[in-house]
Every structure is written in C-alpha cells, then in structure tokens.
C-alpha cells in the first residue's frame, strides 16, 4: 500500500460495536504487518462512556476469538475525525444519519456503513447487542469479521489499482 489509510469505526457509545470492529481490523492489520500503513480508530456518536473500556461482554466474546480490546477507550467523534480519516464506517442507520449531519460536505464520501464490505453475510447493519444476550455479541463478531475481511480486500485492491501504471 502506498498512501497510508486511516479507518474510523463508529457506533453510538463506542463500547460495543465500534471497538469490536476496531479490535478485529487492527488484528488483521497487525497480522499483515501493515501497522505503519493503516491506522485504525473508533468513536461514538454520543459521549455516554468517555474514556471507558469496551463493554465486558464485548471484550469476553472478542477474546474467545483471539482479539484483545482491553486497551481501547470510548470517545465521541470530533470535527477533526472527518479530516483525519479516509473512511468513516458506521454500524447502523442511526449512526449514519448522525455522522452525516456532523460531517462537512467535502468529507461525506468517506462515510459508509461497515456492512457494505461484507463478503458472505447479508445484513444492512451491525445490530446493537447492548441490551441482548450472548448471541448478539457473537452475531456482531460474525458480521464484523466478514466486513473487515471485505474492507481489507477493498483497501488492497484500491492500492493495487493506484500502483498500476
């Protein structure tokens, strides 16, 4: 990859879905040795849990699949995020509407739903597991892993196209 990419994952409170996506995608980036090429971050549309670690259930389910979320901390999306990141990937329709409302027009092309990158699963959104049971957190991981595989493929193909004469 030639130009460094910066990806921001966004959900409502930045304690379940977006830190899960952050951790899964960061793991994939690290496995490929691309930490200097791809930056990964996450944020929430709301400031409900400032500087809190991800929900314990998110951490537990992620750890069962080999992902460590323990060093992540919740924060709210800022104006600077729209300049800083190349892609801003939201988890659901409400997140999309809120982020688009905050986003300057010149950066709206960066805002997309994470599930647009799913390779095998068919879902418009990554549903919020917060008020549900364990199956919801596993479903989030299934969707996030599939979408992150597709995102990685998308970034790799985009870089290959830019590298061609």
Q: What is the dihedral of CA 152, 130, 100, 29, to 10 degrees?
A: -20
Which of these is catalytic: 11, 16, 103, 118?
A: 11
Q: Say whether 11 is catalytic.
A: yes
Q: What angle do CA 150, 152, 158 make, to 5 degrees?
A: 100
Contacts of 99 (CB under 8 A, 6+ apart): 10, 45, 77, 88, 90, 111
Q: Say whether 103 is catalytic.
A: no
Contact 112, 87 (CB under 8 A): yes
Contact 90, 7 (CB under 8 A): no
Which of these is catalytic: 41, 55, 92, 128?
A: 128
Q: Say whether 92 is catalytic.
A: no
Which of these is catalytic: 16, 17, 55, 81?
A: 17
Point out the residues that are catalytic. Answer: 11, 17, 128
């Amino acid at each position: 990859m030639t130009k460094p990419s910066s990806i921001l994952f966004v959900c409502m409170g930045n304690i379940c879905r977006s830190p899960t996506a952050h951790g899964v995608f960061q793991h994939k980036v690290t496995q490929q040795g691309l930490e200097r090429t791809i930056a990964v971050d996450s944020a929430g549309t709301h400031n409900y849990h400032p500087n809190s670690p991800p929900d314990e259930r998110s951490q537990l389910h992620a750890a069962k699949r080999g992902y460590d979320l323990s060093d992540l901390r919740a924060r709210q999306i800022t104006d600077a995020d729209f300049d800083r990141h190349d892609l801003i990937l939201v988890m659901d329709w409400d997140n999309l509407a809120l982020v688009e409302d905050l986003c300057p027009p010149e950066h709206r092309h960066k805002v997309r739903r994470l599930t647009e990158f799913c390779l095998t699963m068919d879902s418009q959104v990554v549903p919020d597991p917060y008020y549900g049971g364990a199956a919801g957190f596993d479903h989030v991981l299934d969707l996030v892993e599939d979408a992150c595989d597709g995102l990685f493929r998308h970034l790799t193909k985009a870089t290959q196209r830019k590298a061609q004469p």
